[in-house]
Amino acid sequence: MLRKVLLSTSLIFALVGSINLSAAKDAVPLADDPVTEQRLIVISEEMRCLVCQNESLAGSRSDLANDLRQEIRILIKAGKTDEQIRSFMVERYGDFVLYRPPVKPITWLLWIGPFVILLAGIIGLLVYLRRRNLSAPSTVLSKEDNARIDALLKDAKANSTENIS
């Protein structure tokens, strides 16, 4: 009985392991030329993966990223400059493909927006604090109230020195 359980368990593990091995992908081959590969890394670090959107093209493992890196390799081998490759990618996919899009009228909000939001927040905070200070009633204490406070402070100070000794 125990032998049958062990045999069936081992068959299940073997089946699961073979499924995982068949689903594994081969590593993407690097370029034959290390200089080409280095240029590819430099260029693709400045570009956004269009699938992941939060990863660089160099760091993404999506199929589209692999295809785009292969396209960049082809352009590098064709003798294109880095700027020509970037221009090609922007023409094809728009400014979104760049991590640092150029400053132009369509991207002004992208570049200036965070500073405008920060400035609006600071102004809003200052207005709120000023209104809060103006709405708080200010009371002037009489001489009797000041004398009573002084007496309480002296009494508290005397009690604290008695507790220390």
Q: What is the pLDDT of residues 20-35, one digit of tens each?
A: 555 555 445 555 678 8
Task: Give the range among 7-11, 80-84, 117-121, 138-142 with minimum mean pLDDT.
Answer: 7-11
Q: Which fold has domain 27-102?
A: Helicase, Ruva Protein; domain 3 (1.10.8)
Q: What is the pLDDT of residues 103-139, one digit of tens each?
A: 888 888 878 999 999 999 999 999 999 999 888 787 8
Concatenating the DSSP letter of every residue in the chain gives: -HHHHHHHHHHHHHHHHHHHHHHPPPPPPPPSSHHHHHHHHHHHHTBB-TTTSSSBTTT--SHHHHHHHHHHHHHHHTT--HHHHHHHHHHHH-GGGBSS---SGGGHHHHHHHHHHHHHHHHHHHHHHHHHHHHS---PPPHHHHHHHHHHHHHHHHHHHHHH-
